[in-house]
Amino acid sequence: MKPQYQIPIQECGEPLVPIPLEQFAVESPHPYEKLGAPYGDISPYFLRQTVLAALIEAQTQLQQQHPDWRIQIFDAYRPVAVQQFMVDHTFAEVVQTQNIKLETLSDKQQQDIWQQVYQLWAQPSYNPMTPPPHSTGAAVDVTLVDATGAPLDMGSPIDELSPRSHPEYYINQPDKPYDGYRQLLRDVMCSAGFHRHLEEWWHFSLGDQMWTWLYNQENPTQKRKARYGRF
């Protein structure tokens, strides 16, 4: 079990609210909807009310430094059914990339692939004590776009299953802009109260179990409970 799932949840009951998409850059249609993810009538572009306010503040901080740049929202609220779909989709992608047939996989090979998948994706748990972060409405995947609306090159795409996804992968490569862009994204998001995922440069949260675990690591005398459970 990942350490953040040891954090107790004291659900605050705050609603999910729609993200004002005209204020941000977005990819349309949504990347997972294009793959066939089962959102039904639920929009992925929702967040908890306080989380949305913090995201708007993060963009304000960004535009104080770069007036015409914007935060691009890749993904926000994700029902558990969509989490399951994306986990299965990623497993199939790994199998295809390795050029092996699913029906010939040994138990050991399947376990190894699932281990790779769960390095990136949270397990699609319906247990109220271990919700996937995006299923709480308190996590958001973001990047930056410049004044022309073009996404900045962060050195790897969102959701890439590779070491390049680690936030500090390029820290010792000053000849490339990637680390600087990643740190700018981190700085504006964290200035608004978010914490960044330790292994994903694009994933930020506020008030969920991961955020609370990171907060408690930094403030061991001020232990908190998570505010947001599965919505």
pLDDT tens digits, 88-98? 999 988 888 87
Region 148-161: mean pLDDT is 96
Q: Which of 97-106, 136-145, 215-224 has the lowest mean pLDDT?
A: 97-106
Q: Is 103 a catalytic residue?
A: no
Count the neighbouring beta carbons within 10 Å of the beta carbon of residue 32: 20
> What average pLDDT does the chain have?
94
pLDDT at 79 over 90: yes
Token readout for 126 is: 């319906």
Q: Report the alpha-carbon distance of residue 197 to residue 139 in Å, rounded.
A: 10
Q: Which candidate, 96, 125, 130, 133, places its Cα nearest to that of 113?
A: 96
What domains are defined for the chain? 3-218 (3.30.1380.10)
Catalytic residue (choose from 33, 103, 200, 218): 200
pLDDT tens figures, 155-195? 999 999 999 999 999 999 989 999 999 999 999 999 999 99
Whether the Cβ atoms of residue 141 and residue 186 lie closer than 8 Å to each other: no
Whether the Cβ atoms of residue 167 and residue 182 lie closer than 8 Å to each other: yes
Strand 70-75 with 25-26, pairing: parallel
Which residues sit opposite 142 in a β-bridge? Answer: 73
CA 124 to chain centre: 14
